[in-house]
Amino acid sequence: MKIAGTFLERLYDAIRREPFRRKIVIAPSYIEGQSWLMRICRELGPVMNVEVQTVQSFVRSEVQFSLYQQGLTFIGEQRSFWIIHHVMEQMASKPGSYISMDQVKPGIAMHVHQAIMDLRRAGVRAGELRDYHFMSQQKGSYVRKVLSAYERFLNQRSWTDFPGLLSHIPTQLQENVELILPDPMPLPPVSPRMMERLSNGRMTRIIADSFFTDIQSTMPFEEVQFYHATGRMAEVREALRRIIQGRMPLDEVEMIVPNAEYALAILTMCASFGLPCSFADGLPVITSGMGRAAHFLLNWLESGYQVRQLVSMLQQQLITFSDRDQGITNADCIRALEKSGIGWGKERYIKLLESEVVRSQGDSDEKPEERERTEQQQRDDEIKKHLTNLLGELFPDEAALSSPKGIWGWLVNILDRFGVCGTEEDAIVLQEMKGIAKELQECPVPDSMPFQQMLLYARDMLQELRVGVQRLPKPGFLYISSLSNGGISGRKHTFLLGMDEHSWSGNIRQNPMLLDEECGRIGAGLQTAVQRQRDRQRLRDGRLGMISGNITFSFSSYDLAEGATASPAFQLLQVFRKVSGETNADYEMLHRSLGEPVGYLDVEQPSSTELNGLPLDGSHYVFRQIHANVNLMRDRQSFIESVYPLLRQGRLALEARGSSQVTEHDGYIAGDEWADYWKGRDERTLSASQLEKYAECPMRYFFQYVLRIRVKDQVTFDRTSWLKPNERGSLLHEVYRRYMTEVSASKVMPITHDHARLLRIAEETILLYAERIPAPSPHVFERERQAMLRDVDVFYRMELQAKTAPRFFEQELIVDGQPLHLELGEDMAITLRGIVDRIDQVAPHQYRIIDYKTGSPRPYKENGMFAGGTQLQHALYAMGTELWMRQTGVDSDAKVLEASYVFPSERGHGQVIARSQTERNRVTEVIRGILLSMEQGLFIPASNPGVCRYCDYAAVCGDHAEMMADKRKDEANSELLHTLLEVENIE
């Protein structure tokens, strides 16, 4: 279809005028020029002997050979920035500098660089600047010196930037070549001079079209629509819904957006709907896996090497530590890192992965050290060794941590070594990063820089990268362009989104190093910030004037994040006046015409135009149906659940929890299948801790030991503490064991205690732990060291008063490598495994066992023998110790009279809670009740909701324990809960 009187027609005529002459079309951008030619060929006819160039690409191609002859090297914006940065640092090192060394930061350096480049593009040399050109004489002197130093630097290196090419341009254009460019086309002063010198009079200017808002504009709209929405996401959803509703072919649609936020919203929604789309300006690098990995690595450095950042990268498959030859997967590495207890700090990675795992006091009886290494232990050691070897490559050295060049090189090396290149975009990102690294090698980048400042530069360079750039429209894809290049694709349907005042007016920000008033004083064609903004708007409005076919204008009239309304752009009002014929229409009339804003789900009745009739997705359909159908309003729950059956299951679960009956949703596994499974297990090895945990909270027992849901062993970064409670307890256990083993080795009674020896052992053990687990600071280490030495003193004073003879320490209750088979009366027996901290002899064949506790003695009441089944260790270990002594021949008549919980710490005040072992029948009664409840399938929440505050599974249960309180008292559940409640009531 021929479009009369347009810029494209005039350009077409100019190209066809001399078909055999080579024509070079000079366009604001390569994409814009190519789009002109594509539309001309599609809408007007074929052309020949024509190519597209920008001013920069054309000038560079013409002077390339001349630069080679003179031995000059062309430099880009990145290298010129670092030259300016280098000059600023040199000047800042001198006293009285206008910008001090502390002020040489990314933001200020960017302003200075922009000012110098503006002066260069205007053809202004340092010698032409005067102090009176600037508002501040000191600033004028500074800018002049920076520009002069920059000019000298280029001359010394035989480098030249784009403005410097003016002096190297040949005086005439090749024969049989003609330049064609639009008029007007705003250019900095140096560029027109270059074009005039090159053209040699053979330059044709094509008058551009009127702005799309002008009343005389010939923009050939076939159909114009308007709408506004409550938020950007709602606006984008409505545009996509209209595309689908109108059955528009995707490769006939262009969506023009004002910023990256709209582009990301479109990307997200198109991905969820399965709609292919391409982006003229691409997307932020963080939308690619390689880009996210780079951002994560910088965050990892900044966080002090927190292991959760590293684990997150592995989980998201942004990097990989897998080794196919050894059969080590990322999952293996993740588990090893989580179990390591590293937390943070480079030195902690090395030490904790190379050292043996510190035994947790709380799990000592559940995971004892085996006499022979198991296959799993060997596997764990292989994984740890693999990780330790990798760490040498992973951590940056001191040189990398001192400059942007070093940190960027480290990023590239790590991504090249460990990055996951899953898509073509990932490969492109890595290649571009390598190109930047190579360019930085030629730049005068500082060798030393503060860490935070260095990270800012690295992040700025990452933000400049784009992925998925598709300059020209792609067949079969939605085409997403921006205000800086949109409107030239020639597609039949155009959606112009984000036409609010803020997005369209733009921010006019003057450069503090070269203010608009200073530009006026200097002259030479220097553009002010206002002029630059005006030129950008003219180019935009002229480009949009080339849109053909149907167009839809929209904006977000309400900002959900800010909770504020937004006004439409003035250009939207102008278009409305032109389309409606109301030349005096105001904003009020525009709003009345727009009607109610479109919501995210848009549950209003379909409009008369039936454009809102098609729901976009399932949720849209559900709410539309409910809003439109009165009957569904009454029974909307059933309708929603028919579309989303999982919601029905969730509702039934909540109702069951809220009912008076104990059901499977409360942790009750009914039926014989569970009982048969429980009885038929081949191995029923139980520890005292497992039985106690069931008594405290059956549901937690079910998660941990039946379902085997693993709790992540992640260490939280804390600058105020060194050892975790379980690590501290293990350290003190080790000190007490070593000391008592040494002083009782002679078997001479009474024991001769040695305080100096005890302190030596304590200091040695503390230093050993410090090597394995580095402290966050010397102050924290010393504070906790002193606290532990005070605990050791409490232990020493207790031992001076002891009357018994120590016999065994850290004794594992196994015989021939197998756990004990403990008979509990009648037909009940359990397989017991555990470690006893200490066994003392009080008389011939009579013993006392001791369990060290480094926490608070508060839960251990004097008259609370079993505490509802939560304190069984003393009784089970007493029986197990007797059986172990008899079966191993240590003492065939052994009898444990007492089991004591001993608190040899400052917090425990040296308290001893003794449990007499004269009520074996009650032990059997409690354990029988626990085992019977397990067999019944009862795994309900704890009777005391207070334990939920420290439970690893609290996020799963929520307030379930509180909800169960009434069910425990309900008569309807008395038969089912009878045994468990009896156990909980035993003191």
Predicted local distance difference test score (pLDDT) of residue 619:
76
Convert the pLDDT of each residue in 445-503 to its tens digit.
Answer: 998 899 999 999 999 999 999 999 988 899 999 999 999 888 888 899 999 999 999 88
Q: Which two tokens stand for residue 760?
A: 């030596």
Question: CA 575, CA 579: separation in Å to the nearest integer?
Answer: 6
Question: Percent of the chain, pLDDT > 90?
Answer: 40
pTM of the predicted structure, to 2 decimals: 0.78
If you count DSSP H runs as helices and E runs as strands, how many of each does the chain have, helices first?
37, 25
DSSP 8-state secondary structure symbol assigned to residue 307: H
**Of 39-48, 165-174, 193-202, which gets the smallest average pLDDT?**
165-174
Name the amino acid, one letter, at 482: S
Question: What's the distance, Cα to Cα, between the start and end of the chain in Å?
Answer: 94
Instruction: Grade residue 219 by pLDDT with cuts at 50, 70 and 90.
Output: low
Angle between helices 688-696 and 920-936 (to 10 degrees): 60
Contact 902, 852 (CB under 8 A): yes
**Of 238-252, 708-722, 968-982, which gets the smallest average pLDDT?**
708-722
Residue identified by tokens 């989104």 is 497
User: Which residue from 979, 870, 951 is spatially nearest to 700, judged by alpha carbons?
Assistant: 951
Predicted local distance difference test score (pLDDT) of residue 603:
59
User: Which residue from 338, 296, 343 is spatially nearest to 316, judged by alpha carbons?
Assistant: 296
CB neighbour list of residue 679: distance below 8 Å, 6 or more residues apart = 935
Which residue stretches of 342-444 are H helix?
346-354, 375-394, 404-418, 424-442
Q: Facing residues of 564 across strands?
A: 559
Burial class (CB in 10 A: 0-12, 13-18, 19+), 239: buried
Average pLDDT over residues 415-439: 94
Question: CA 801, CA 191: separation in Å to the nearest integer?
Answer: 96
Asked if pLDDT for residue 89 goes beyond 80, the answer is yes
- Mean predicted lDDT score pLDDT of the chain: 86
Predicted local distance difference test score (pLDDT) of residue 441:
92
Question: Percent of the chain, pLDDT > 70?
Answer: 92
User: Which residue from 220, 253, 240 is spatially nearest to 492, judged by alpha carbons?
Assistant: 253
Q: Which two tokens stand for residue 713?
A: 């062993």
Contact 252, 490 (CB under 8 A): no
Can you point out the beta strands (E) in 169-262?
A: 177-183, 203-207, 221-229, 253-257
CB neighbour list of residue 434: distance below 8 Å, 6 or more residues apart = 412, 416
Burial class (CB in 10 A: 0-12, 13-18, 19+), 748: exposed
CB neighbour list of residue 571: distance below 8 Å, 6 or more residues apart = 212, 213, 499, 504, 541
Predicted local distance difference test score (pLDDT) of residue 562:
74
Question: CA 822, CA 832: separation in Å to the nearest integer?
Answer: 6
CA 501-506-507 angle, to 5 degrees, is 125
Average pLDDT over residues 38-66: 91
- Give 266-302 as a DSSP string: HHHHHHHHT--EEETT-EEGGGSHHHHHHHHHHHHHH
**Of 458-462, 565-569, 862-866, 870-874, which gets the smallest average pLDDT?**
862-866
Q: Which one is the CATH code of 658-711+805-987: 3.90.320, 3.30.530, 1.10.3470, 3.30.70?
A: 3.90.320
Q: In Å, how far from its chain's centre is CA 696?
A: 37
Q: Which residue has the higher pLDDT, 627 or 970?
A: 970
Asked if pLDDT for residue 144 goes beyond 70, the answer is yes
Q: Which two tokens stand for residue 561?
A: 């994040």
Q: Which CATH architecture has domain 221-282+470-512+548-594?
A: 3-Layer(aba) Sandwich (3.40)
Asked if pLDDT for residue 359 goes beyond 60, the answer is no
Average pLDDT over residues 102-110: 92
Question: What are the Cα distances from residue 227, in Å, to 135, 274, 457, 810?
Answer: 47, 25, 42, 77
Q: Largest Cα–Cα distance of the chain, in whole Å?
A: 121
User: Which residue from 145, 146, 167 is spatially nearest to 72, judged by alpha carbons?
Assistant: 167
Predicted local distance difference test score (pLDDT) of residue 51:
93
Convert the pLDDT of each residue in 659-714 to its tens digit.
Answer: 888 888 888 888 777 877 777 665 556 778 888 888 888 989 888 888 888 776 66
Asked if pLDDT for residue 3 goes beyond 50, the answer is no
Question: CA 720, CA 743: separation in Å to the nearest integer?
Answer: 36
Q: Facing residues of 514 across strands?
A: 511
Q: In Å, how far from its chain's centre is CA 93?
A: 39
Asked if pLDDT for residue 344 goes beyond 80, the answer is no
Instruction: Grade residue 357 by pLDDT with cuts at 50, 70 and 90.
Output: very low
**Of 591-605, 720-734, 777-791, which gets the smallest average pLDDT?**
591-605
- If DSSP codes are grouped into helix, strand and coil, which group holds residue 562? coil
Average pLDDT over residues 843-848: 92
Instruction: Grade residue 875 by pLDDT with cuts at 50, 70 and 90.
Output: confident
The reply to whether 221-282+470-512+548-594 shares the fold of 7-70+168-207 is yes
Predicted local distance difference test score (pLDDT) of residue 608:
38
Convert the pLDDT of each residue in 113-138 to its tens digit.
Answer: 999 999 999 999 999 999 889 999 99
Predicted local distance difference test score (pLDDT) of residue 789:
94
Q: Which residue has the higher pLDDT, 639 or 570?
A: 570
Domain ranges of the chain: 7-70+168-207, 76-160, 221-282+470-512+548-594, 286-466, 658-711+805-987, 715-802
- Domain 7-70+168-207 in CATH 3.40.50.300? The answer is yes
Question: CA 84, CA 106: separation in Å to the nearest integer?
Answer: 12
Predicted local distance difference test score (pLDDT) of residue 611:
44
What does DSSP say about strands 283-284 and 493-496: parallel, antiparallel, or unpaired? unpaired
Convert the pLDDT of each residue in 584-638 to its tens digit.
Answer: 899 999 999 998 898 877 655 444 344 456 677 777 777 777 766 766 656 777 7
Residues in the chain: 987
Name the amino acid, one letter, at 872: L
